[in-house]
Amino acid sequence: MLEKNNAANMEANVLDMFRLDGKIALITGGSRGLCFSMVIGLAQAGAITIISSRKQSDCEKAAAEIYSQTGKESTGIAVDVSREESVKKLFKAVIKKYNRLDILVNGAGINIRHPIEEYPASDCKRVFDTNIYGMWLCCKEAVVIMKKQRAGSIINIGSALGEVGMPQRSAYCASKSAVMGITRVVALELAPAGARCNAICPGPFLTEINKALLQDPKKVKDLIGRTAFKRWADLKEIRGTVVFLASDASSYMTGSAVYVDGGWTAQ
């Protein structure tokens, strides 16, 4: 048996392990920015994608762009991840249409900046409701599906700011620190079914969340100066990581985090 397994391993083409042909991938927050770039990567690797964000028109526009760029089927379904009934409706629609879910990318997230002594409690709640509670709700629904089908990969989007602090981001940093707690527990609960849960922790990508900083060159210099490369990340530099974690190439990884942060947390 060992000899047969070794022979099979020798014959396998490593590049084939990254293919996602026919896989069904749901990406929350996928209509723009970093998560839209992830959708492109997943579609280029062969996945059928479902793009979710708050506005149906944004979802449909993004899905049409994915089809235009890659020729792969893509669907847009609106969701408010902070509302349980909305999340349940989303997952029910995915299963009704495709009868399975192979990949979930929990990318919906917001960042509201204030010094902590001036931070409105309502803003803090908004960040937590989206970044923590919303992720937890989506994991809850996906786990039911993936346990039943005994396969699947959940990818939670954290941040380098879950590992290090930064002024005026108390709610955001706290929410991204929570990502790994959720990721580890879900990984352990999925493992008996052969499904997985990991996290990606990006550094400074020039997304919609960060564009407000461009008005202050000093803040920009400070932000990218924290990285080893001293530059913004290009949006396409996230694609390889999400495809890796979604695919069989990472089949023995679960409960882990991959930092795509230009060396920020290495210092």
Q: What is the mean pLDDT of residues 88-110?
A: 97
Measure the CA–CA gap between 27 and 106, rounded to whole angstroms: 6
Measure the CA–CA gap between 9 and 27, rounded to whole angstroms: 31
Measure the CA–CA gap between 128 and 108, rounded to whole angstroms: 12
**Per-residue pLDDT, 8:** 55
Q: Per residue in 203-234, pLDDT tens?
A: 999 877 677 677 778 888 888 899 999 999 99
Nearest CA among 70, 61, 68 for reference residue 20: 70
**Per-residue pLDDT, 95:** 98
Residue 66 forms part of a structural domain = yes
> 252 catalytic, yes or no?
no
Q: What is the mean pLDDT of residues 87-93?
A: 98
- Structural domains in the chain (count): 1
Q: Which residues contact 266 (CB under 8 A, 6 or more apart)?
A: 228
Centre a 10 Å sphere on the Cβ of residue 136 and count the other Cβ atoms it contains. 18
**Per-residue pLDDT, 3:** 57
From 119, 133, 172, 252, the catalytic residue: 172
Residue 8 forms part of a structural domain = no
The pLDDT of residue 2 is above 60:
no
Q: Per residue in 59-68, pLDDT tens?
A: 999 999 999 9
Please, are residues 89 and 138 in contact by the beta-carbon 8 Å criterion? no
Please, are residues 207 and 34 in contact by the beta-carbon 8 Å criterion? yes
Please, are residues 81 and 134 in contact by the beta-carbon 8 Å criterion? yes
Angle at CA 263, nearest 5°, toward 233 and 154? 70
**Per-residue pLDDT, 25:** 98
**Per-residue pLDDT, 263:** 96
Residue 86 forms part of a structural domain = yes
Per-residue tokens: 116: 């902590």
Residue 107 binned pLDDT confidence (cut-offs 50, 70, 90): very high
**Per-residue pLDDT, 259:** 98
Residue 227 forms part of a structural domain = yes
* 95, HSE (Cβ side, Cα atoms, 13 Å): 13
**Per-residue pLDDT, 6:** 58
CATH label of the domain that carries residue 50: 3.40.50.720
List the alpha helices (DSSP H) in the chain. Answer: 2-11, 33-44, 56-70, 84-98, 121-128, 134-149, 170-190, 217-225, 239-246
Q: Per residue in 7-61, pLDDT tens?
A: 555 667 999 999 999 999 999 999 999 999 999 999 999 999 999 999 999 999 9
Residue 144 forms part of a structural domain = yes
Question: 197 - beta bridge partners?
Answer: 154
Rg over CA atoms, the chain: 18
**Per-residue pLDDT, 4:** 55
Mean pLDDT of all residues in the chain? 94
**Per-residue pLDDT, 254:** 98
Measure the CA–CA gap between 267 and 259, rounded to whole angstroms: 13
Query: What range does the domain containing 146 cover?
Result: 13-261
Residue 266 forms part of a structural domain = no
Residue 1 forms part of a structural domain = no
- Please name the residue that has the structure tokens 């996290």: 199
Residue 3 forms part of a structural domain = no
The pLDDT of residue 250 is above 60:
yes
**Per-residue pLDDT, 12:** 73
Q: What is the mean pLDDT of residues 94-99?
A: 98
The model carries a pTM of 0.93
